[in-house]
Amino acid sequence: MSKTREVILGKIVKSNSHTDYVCQVYSLNEFEPAPRPENYALGTFVKIELTDGTSPAYLVGLIYDTVLLNPEFGRLGPRLSSESELTTFSPDYLNERAVLLGITAIGRVKANGEAVLGVPRLAARSDALVREMTREEIVHFHTGSGQLDLSYLPILVRIDNPLAYHLARIVLLRLMDLLPAYRAELDVLEDDLGWQTQIGPLGGLQ
Amino acid sequence: MNRPLGRAKGPGPTPHSFLFVSPDLEKNLKVGEFITYEAEIDGEPQTILARISERRPVRLYPDPFSSDPAIDPNRVAAIVGYSGKTSELFEITAEVIGCYDEKLRAFINPRVPPRVGTPIALAGNEYLSRVLSRVKAGEVGSATVGWLLSRPRLQVPIAIDVNALVSTHMAIIASTGAGKSYTAGVLIEEMLKANNRAAILVIDPHGEYETLAEIANSNALSGDGYRPGARVHAPGGIKIRVGTLEQGDLRYLLPNVSDRMSYVLGRAYREAENISKKRCSDPNRWTLRELEDAIDRQGENEEDTFDRGSANALLWRLRATIHTGADEIFDDQQQTPLSELFQPGRVTVMRLDQVDERQQQVIVAALLRRVFYARMDNKNEQVAPGSDNYLPYPVFILIEEAHNFAPANADIVTTNILKKVLAEGRKFGVGVGLISQRPGKLDPDVLSQCNTQFLLRIVNPVDQARVRESVESVGRDLLDELPALTKGQAIISGAAVNTPVLCQIRERYVRHGGESQSAVDEWRSYSGEAQTRRRERDTATPRQPSSRRSSLFKED
Ligand SMILES: Nc1ncnc2c1ncn2[C@@H]1O[C@H](COP(=O)(O)OP(=O)(O)OP(=O)(O)O)[C@@H](O)[C@H]1O
Ligand SMILES: [Mg+2]
């Protein structure tokens, strides 16, 4: 597994609860490399720094929702300006067009590298940086104890979102890819969610 | 008291029951198992016994956790963050039996359910050995037929009370092949031990009890100068005097008796009785010949020509049905003395195989009548020693295929006397044990009069229903186990035990005679024989034609 490059996605701008954070994705020119949509896809594992860079400890979160902020507003306004003109004449206005990510916290990694899954005791600060997790970090988070650990799954399927089961399924499919040694066990869980998301709504007995 | 396995939760569905919760890590808490708890009665701490009647899981993994047979659901649970030990947790219903009173040797039911949180433990082996029955294993009056099924072999012996068993009658009920005759054999062995020395007669319509003869040579049963006896009588070895047959017996034995014939028979029967009475002042000593002559005389009635035909028809039937003589069961003069049929410390087996079913019924009816009234007279000291009917001690009669002698929905020759014995036998010391694989075909009144029950595996729903309705002493929870029992496992309940128990019947000391035959083994052995013969034939050197010719003149 080649070490993937770390992408900074944005910063925490708001939280709705202890585990429910809102991250604003950086726009084009703020950071290099700039985050691209596949970096913040639904079900992406992210880390939220817990200190301002002084400690390697971080919260682990999962992108469970995406909201585009005021996407239509610009078009209704100075409609004659093209996007390139806007960049030149009113950069602030462009900044108001933002992508917001809903992130649910599912655990943390302590400064010593120990992974703790489940509701984290610590909360992130405002403006904390949010990064996409690398494959290695995801693998470590889930198997650091020497055993596959998915103990956040029950919390995940209970988040207040119609996509909760789909999200859990995306996570499982991703992990099956990353953790082939646990494919059979993951398959048991994935199969159940698959039934509940795909067959259950059509009237399958559950 | 043992280490607690659970804690009391609260009252159960019935007034005598309570609930407790246990992870049951060692899988001990099965239905039928005994548990104890401590409760205070009149200021004294007492041990209370209860029996598990239901076990319900209160925690279960979602079914899809088991969707891949190769994956242990516990593993899936561990992955999603549950690795506790109590993934299985049970709510267990138990029925309070009570507190054992050492003086009464019985349970008194103080109706003290455990308080919430009371520790519940498995009942100790030693405690159970002491309380399940009035008698302890090996004591005078005990029959140790096996051990408590839920405990390791021989840990908790099941000793039943022989006095209760014989005085208030017994039934062994099970589907075919479940171990009825085997269990009866164990019971007979126990009753013949030096501590009981019972006088037993077995009515054996299938010749399954022949091997009991080995009891006489068994060292397991003898000792201290005592040695039990066993006699097996082939049909004809036990004599019934024809004069003791009642009119109803005859009418039942003879095929297709019309009303007219029945009338003729009645008159002839009374005449034969009178002849007997005149001869020896006992109406029950007529001979077959005297009865035949009496019937013949009925045919000479001038006024009614029909009587001739009826008399002839009766005579023909009588001669075809009842025979007297050396090898026959019926005899004109003799009857086997009761003291020969019944001897303390001896089992007598009366084989009735190859005897027609109606004859069997009449024989059993005649025998039961004789024993019952003899015991009545003996009780009143009206029988002199030396008489055929001298029987100064109580007896026990075991009847196989009991549904043939007390069928449901029909009154046959044996029904009345059997009911009489069951109802009044206790007063005169006549105990009966009934064995049947078709309780559904057995008269329900008869079954419910047997106060000790051995119930082995019963599969047929009709039979289960009959047992449910006739056997009051066993709870539903235990009866539900009936179809799941295996060979030699029995529910023993009723008068001879303090509370119903699930028992593993022990192995026999002497060989069991009712072994199931293996059809395949027999086919194979015969086929082997036939093949050998065929091979011999096929490989034999053919005789020369010349030699055959020569044999005309001289022996080969
Ligand atoms: N307690 C036991 N221990 C060992 N074997 C047993 C026990 N009880 C029964 N068996 C075996 O089970 C078989 C059937 O037993 P048994 O002949 O007593 O059945 P049954 O109920 O009398 O059947 P049937 O209705 O045909 O008379 C026998 O071969 C016997 O050896
Ligand atoms: Mg039998």
Residue for token digits 């003899």? B374
Concatenate the DSSP letters of all residues of A157-191 into one string. Answer: TTSSSTTHHHHHHHHHHHHHHH-GGGHHHHHHHHH
Does residue B435 line the site of ligand 1, with CB under 6 A? no
Residue spans of alpha helices (H) in A60-178: 73-76, 83-89, 91-95, 135-143, 153-156, 164-178
In this prediction, residue A85 carries a pLDDT of 57
- Asked if the peptide bond before residue A91 counts as cis, ω within 30 degrees of 0, the response is no
> CA separation (Å) from B178 to A117, B173, B175, B489, B516?
57, 9, 6, 8, 11
Ligand 2: distance of its center to the CA of B219 in Å? 25
How far apart are alpha carbons B142 and A63 in whole angstroms? 76
Would residue A173 count as lying in a domain? no
In this prediction, residue A140 carries a pLDDT of 96
B492, pLDDT greater than 90: yes
The residues in A 43-62 lying below 8 A from B, measured between CB atoms, are: none
Q: Which residues of B touch A (CB under 8 A)?
A: 62, 64-65, 67-68, 70-71, 75-76, 78-81
Confidence label for A114 from pLDDT (cuts 50, 70 and 90): very high
**Coil vs helix vs strand at B191:** helix
For residue B81, list chain A residues with Cβ-Cβ distance below 8 A: 117-118, 149-154
E strands, B247-354, are 330-331, 346-351
CB contact, 8 Å: A200 with chain B? no
The better pLDDT of the pair B162, B59 is held by B162
For the segment B12-29, what is each residue's pLDDT rounded down to a tens digit? 999 899 999 999 988 899
Lowest model confidence (mean pLDDT) among A132-141, B183-192, B216-225, B523-532:
B523-532
Ligand 2: distance of its center to the CA of B208 in Å? 7
Ligand 1: distance of its center to the CA of B435 in Å? 13
For residue A147, list chain B residues with Cβ-Cβ distance below 8 A: 78-79
Confidence label for A30 from pLDDT (cuts 50, 70 and 90): low
Q: B34 burial class (0-12, 13-18, 19+ CB within 10 angstroms)?
A: buried
Q: Tally Cβ neighbours within 10 Å of residue B45.
A: 9
CB contact, 8 Å: A183 with chain B? no
For the segment B157-180, what is each residue's pLDDT rounded down to a tens digit? 999 999 999 999 999 999 999 999
Mean model confidence pLDDT for chain B: 90
Binary contact (B79, A185; C-beta < 8 A): yes
CB contact, 8 Å: A191 with chain B? yes
Q: Which residues, other chains included, contact A65 with Cβ-Cβ below 8 Å and sequence gap of 6+?
A: A42, A101, A102, A161, A163
Residue B173's nearest CA partner among B436, B406, B482 is B436
In this prediction, residue B160 carries a pLDDT of 96
Confidence label for A88 from pLDDT (cuts 50, 70 and 90): low
Binary contact (B64, A153; C-beta < 8 A): no
Residue B284 is encoded by which pair of tokens? 């029950």
**Coil vs helix vs strand at A36:** coil
CATH code at B142-238+336-505 = 3.40.50.300
CB contact, 8 Å: A119 with chain B? no
How far apart are alpha carbons B34 and B29 in whole angstroms? 8
Residue ranges near ligand 2 (ion) with Cβ within 5 Å:
B 180-181, 514
Does residue B181 line the site of ligand 1, with CB under 6 A? yes
Average pLDDT over residues B255-266: 92
Nearest residue of B to residue A148, measured between CA atoms: B79
Domain residues for the domain of A108 are: 7-147
Please name the helix (run of DSSP H) or strand (run of DSSP E) that holds residue B91, with its range, or none: strand B90-101
A97, pLDDT greater than 80: no
Confidence label for A87 from pLDDT (cuts 50, 70 and 90): low
For residue A191, list chain B residues with Cβ-Cβ distance below 8 A: 64, 67-68
In this prediction, residue B397 carries a pLDDT of 98
Confidence label for B554 from pLDDT (cuts 50, 70 and 90): very low
Would residue A170 count as lying in a domain? no
In this prediction, residue A77 carries a pLDDT of 52
Let me know: does A50 contact A106? Beta carbons within 8 Å: no
Q: CATH topology for B4-123?
A: Elongation Factor Tu (Ef-tu); domain 3 (2.40.30)
> Out of A154, A184, A186, whose CB is closest to B81?
A154
E strands, B254-357, are 330-331, 346-351
DSSP letter at B123 equals: P
Nearest residue of B to residue A195, measured between CA atoms: B64
The better pLDDT of the pair B264, B547 is held by B264
CB contact, 8 Å: A69 with chain B? no
CB contact, 8 Å: A147 with chain B? yes
Binary contact (A150, B81; C-beta < 8 A): yes
Residue B323 is encoded by which pair of tokens? 């025979």
Mutate to test the pocket of ligand 1, among B512, B515, B517, B521 (most ligand atoms within 8 A of CB): B512
Q: B3 burial class (0-12, 13-18, 19+ CB within 10 angstroms)?
A: exposed
Ligand 2: distance of its center to the CA of A156 in Å? 64
> CA separation (Å) from B5 to B56, B130, B250?
15, 22, 65
Confidence label for B358 from pLDDT (cuts 50, 70 and 90): very high
The number of distinct structural domains making up chain A is 1
Average pLDDT over residues B394-403: 97
Would residue A24 count as lying in a domain? yes
In this prediction, residue A104 carries a pLDDT of 95
How far apart are alpha carbons B116 and A191 in whole angstroms? 42
**Exposed e or buried b for every residue in B140-163, given b needs 16+ CB within 10 A?**
ebbbbbbbbbbbeeeebbbbbbbb
How far apart are alpha carbons A195 and A161 in whole angstroms? 18
Residue spans of alpha helices (H) in B471-518: 476-479
Does residue B512 line the site of ligand 1, with CB under 6 A? yes
For residue A192, list chain B residues with Cβ-Cβ distance below 8 A: 62, 64-65, 67
- Global pTM reads 0.80
State which amino acid sits at residue A156: L
Lowest model confidence (mean pLDDT) among A7-21, B277-291, B540-554:
B540-554
B305, pLDDT greater than 80: no
Binary contact (A150, B65; C-beta < 8 A): no
Distance of alpha carbon B507 from its chain centroid, rounded? 17
B429, pLDDT greater than 80: yes
Let me know: does A130 contact A48? Beta carbons within 8 Å: yes
Q: B177 burial class (0-12, 13-18, 19+ CB within 10 angstroms)?
A: middle
Average pLDDT over residues B347-375: 95
Let me know: does B181 contact B204? Beta carbons within 8 Å: no
How far apart are alpha carbons A135 and B41 in whole angstroms? 68
Mutation target to probe the B interface, by most B beta carbons within 10 A, among A185, A198, A205 is A185
In this prediction, residue B109 carries a pLDDT of 76
For the segment A167-200, what is each residue's pLDDT rounded down to a tens digit? 999 999 999 999 999 999 999 999 988 888 888 8
Dihedral sign from CA coordinates of A82, A84, A88, A92: positive
Average pLDDT over residues B294-317: 84
Share of chain B above pLDDT 70, in %: 94
In this prediction, residue B82 carries a pLDDT of 83
Size of interface A-B (CB pairs under 8 A): 45
Would residue A72 count as lying in a domain? yes
Mutation target to probe the B interface, by most B beta carbons within 10 A, among A142, A156, A171, A188 is A188
Would residue A74 count as lying in a domain? yes
Confidence label for A155 from pLDDT (cuts 50, 70 and 90): confident
Confidence label for B549 from pLDDT (cuts 50, 70 and 90): very low
Domain residue ranges in chain B: 4-123, 142-238+336-505, 241-321, 522-552
Binary contact (A192, B75; C-beta < 8 A): no
